[in-house]
Amino acid sequence: MPFPQSFLDELTARSDIVDVVGSYVTLQSKSGSYWGCCPFHNEKTPSFHVLQDKQFYHCFGCKKGGGVINFIMDIENLSYPDAVRFLAKRANIPIPEEDHSGTERLRARLLALNRDAARYYYSVLQSPDGEAVRAYLEKRQIKRAVAVRFGMGAAPDSWDALMNAMTQKGYTKKELLDAGLIVQNKKGGFYDRFRNRLILPVIDVRGDVVGFGSRIISGDGAKYVNTPETLTYSKRRVLYGLNLAKKTKRPNIILCEGNLDVVTLHQAGFDNAVASMGTALTGEQIRLLSRYTKELVLCYDNDSAGQLATKRALELLNNTEFSVRVLRLPNRMVDGQPTKQDADDFIKNYGPDAFERLLSGSENGIEFRMAQVAGKYDLRDDQQRIAYAGEISEVLCTLENAVEREVYTVRAAQAVGITPEAMKLEVQRAFKRRISKEKHQQERRELNPSATLQPQEHSIRYENLRSAMAEEGIIRLLMLDDSLFPTEPPLTESQFSSPMLGKIFTLLWRNRQMSAQSRLAALGAELKSEEMSHLTTILQKPESLSNALQALQDYLNVIRQEYDKRSQTDGVDPLVAAMDKYKGKKGYGGKQHE
């Protein structure tokens, strides 16, 4: 283990989970525990449960859970060792000497490589080899000071310039490949991923260079190329420019499509702009944004792709704590024809003051969706007015706030030219249909009890429910009462039908042998996020300790019985076993099947 157990015990003792979680989530005390809205998925009704006596959290909505270290791992997007260091700094506890795992060593090495690569690209931009990129920046009206602020660089028009520069610094080709900085061809050779490009380092909120974005300057090739998924870079978890935008004094954050839109807006004084990295807005990015603002302004391009991205973002942000507005960029008239434009174009064509006016007058999310629906219909035609009323009622019925629903229902009625009472009836019908559908789905789930017993994560589904329920019971008892541990392990890991539950049992036994007190904290280093979340689901299930020894023995008997059944069928041809089972059924006879 990278950290001594005594150190983890002290760390978790001085990092009370209610205090730590409470610095991110508004918690309310109820019946001896704490509840709040989950920071890991969108909700308005609290389902996030924090148990101070047991020092773990569990969300009944998304099923995420764990101890205090796991919470920091998930909320700050950190590895286990980095989350421990984060908490140690928070608690002002010195960190003992660490035996870094191979993964942690590699991650640290790749971050150092990315930093040196960013410095190399920056130096190229200042050199004669960067002349073409400097000319491009001048054409885009990007000032040198702004380019420096974003750490921009230039990749030379060479197949191996970066590779040679980094290997001379002591980095291996394997490390360059792991960082996504070079590519291997079919013949086994290597070449630079970024060539003849403007380089835009992607810097996370902690100041680490986790990857790179780029734009081609001339010649063939993709217009934009980003770092692929690596140990340090996941496009779902980062936002370009957030390392700068998090310091803004403005009350909101502007979400754009492109990296250069962000640069232009920052240069124009809108230092609250960020962009996703070539992907639609994700839940991980929303959680990241929630640390810095509660108001978002969507400023995507005004083409069809941008409109679709806006719609999807609004759906994702629906029923969250965010106040969401949409800034719709107008078309620009060119030779008498309306032409689409992005934020970068608008700033250059009309200036910062015009953008500020647009920003001040941006509409909220529901207004944008209503305008989109209205744009699909000719409201002078009766049939299309009826169709509009049907579709807009499906939108309005999703509004949880009754007053908000009333206001926009009246506005929709005015738009279509019918009485508010008629539109209210349509919205009420749509609302009832939605509730009925949700109730039906819930009933279907309840009629399939085996499905509710299965882990939410498909990769850890149970093959033998009877054995798995007993395996869960043993883990629950051992976590609830230390004294129930027998002097010798009563089972081997191979006797568990669920590899995950067998792994947890082995870890619990090992920790018990080490006299560990903070078992949940220690398990965090060994279990994946989905495994830890399922463990907290197991611990939330009821378990009586009034007759614990007998319950433990009953669970052991079930596991052994099911293991013996599996052992008896080992090595038997599945087809033969199936035929034997079929022959035992009533009605099987030779003449009927000849």
> Which stretch, 63-67, 444-448, 542-546, has highest mean pLDDT?
63-67
Tokens at 259, concatenated: 């990296």
- Nearest-CA neighbor of 592 among 583, 569, 197, 437? 583
Q: Give the pLDDT band of residue 409 (cuts 50, 70, 90).
A: very high
43: helix, coil or strand? coil
Per-residue confidence (pLDDT) for residue 404, from 0 to 100 = 81
510 class by beta-carbon count within 10 Å (0-12 exposed, 13-18 middle, 19+ buried) = middle
* The pLDDT of residue 449 is above 60: no
More confident of the two residues 227 and 531: 227
Provide the 8-state DSSP code for 96.
Answer: P
Per-residue confidence (pLDDT) for residue 576, from 0 to 100 = 46
Rounded CA-CA distance 36/124 in Å is: 50
Is the distance from CB of 121 to CB of 155 less than 8 angstroms? yes
Cα distance from N-terminal residue to C-terminal residue, the chain: 64
Rounded CA-CA distance 166/162 in Å is: 6
- Report the pLDDT averaged over residues 324-341: 77
Given CA atoms 52, 53, 57, 58 in this order, what sign does their dihedral have? negative
> Which stretch, 112-121, 251-260, 581-590, has highest mean pLDDT?
112-121
Q: Which of 357-361, 473-477, 541-545 has the lowest mean pLDDT?
A: 541-545
Per-residue confidence (pLDDT) for residue 511, from 0 to 100 = 76
Per-residue confidence (pLDDT) for residue 159, from 0 to 100 = 94
More confident of the two residues 382 and 594: 382
The DSSP line for 282-345 is -HHHHHHHHTT-SEEEE---SSHHHHHHHHHHHHHHTTSS-EEEE-PPPPEEETTEEE---HHH
Stated as kind and residue range, the H or E segment containing 578 is helix 574-583
Report the share of the chain in percent with pLDDT over 70: 90
Q: How many helices and strands, by DSSP H and E, does the chain display?
A: 26, 19
220 class by beta-carbon count within 10 Å (0-12 exposed, 13-18 middle, 19+ buried) = exposed
**How far, CA to CA in Å, does 379 sit from each of 165, 304, 386?**
64, 22, 9
Does this model's pTM top 0.85? My answer is no
Q: Which of 171-175, 187-191, 323-327, 544-548 has the lowest mean pLDDT?
A: 544-548
- Report the pLDDT averaged over residues 203-213: 93
Rounded CA-CA distance 204/183 in Å is: 24
Stated as kind and residue range, the H or E segment containing 441 is helix 420-446
Stated as kind and residue range, the H or E segment containing 557 is helix 548-569
Q: Name the residue with tokens 């079929």.
A: 582
* The pLDDT of residue 581 is above 50: no
Is the distance from CB of 461 to CB of 450 less than 8 angstroms? no
More confident of the two residues 289 and 546: 289
Per-residue confidence (pLDDT) for residue 586, from 0 to 100 = 42
Per-residue confidence (pLDDT) for residue 138, from 0 to 100 = 95
Tokens at 199, concatenated: 């380089």
* The pLDDT of residue 276 is above 70: yes
- Report the pLDDT averaged over residues 84-92: 88
- Report the pLDDT averaged over residues 83-107: 79
Q: Give the pLDDT band of residue 584 (cuts 50, 70, 90).
A: very low
More confident of the two residues 252 and 446: 252
271: helix, coil or strand? coil
- Report the pLDDT averaged over residues 382-408: 87
Per-residue confidence (pLDDT) for residue 512, from 0 to 100 = 74
Mean pLDDT of the chain: 85
Please list the alpha-helical segments (H only) found in 153-303.
161-168, 173-178, 242-245, 259-267, 283-290
Rounded CA-CA distance 229/233 in Å is: 6
Tokens at 530, concatenated: 């989905």
128: helix, coil or strand? helix
CB atoms within 10 A of CB 570: 6
- Amino acid identity of 483? S
Per-residue confidence (pLDDT) for residue 514, from 0 to 100 = 67
Rounded CA-CA distance 323/366 in Å is: 11
Phi, psi values for residue 158, rounded to 5°: -145, 150
Rounded CA-CA distance 179/173 in Å is: 10
Provide the 8-state DSSP code for 178.
Answer: H
- Report the pLDDT averaged over residues 505-515: 78
- Nearest-CA neighbor of 292 among 256, 322, 261, 259? 322
- Report the pLDDT averaged over residues 471-491: 83
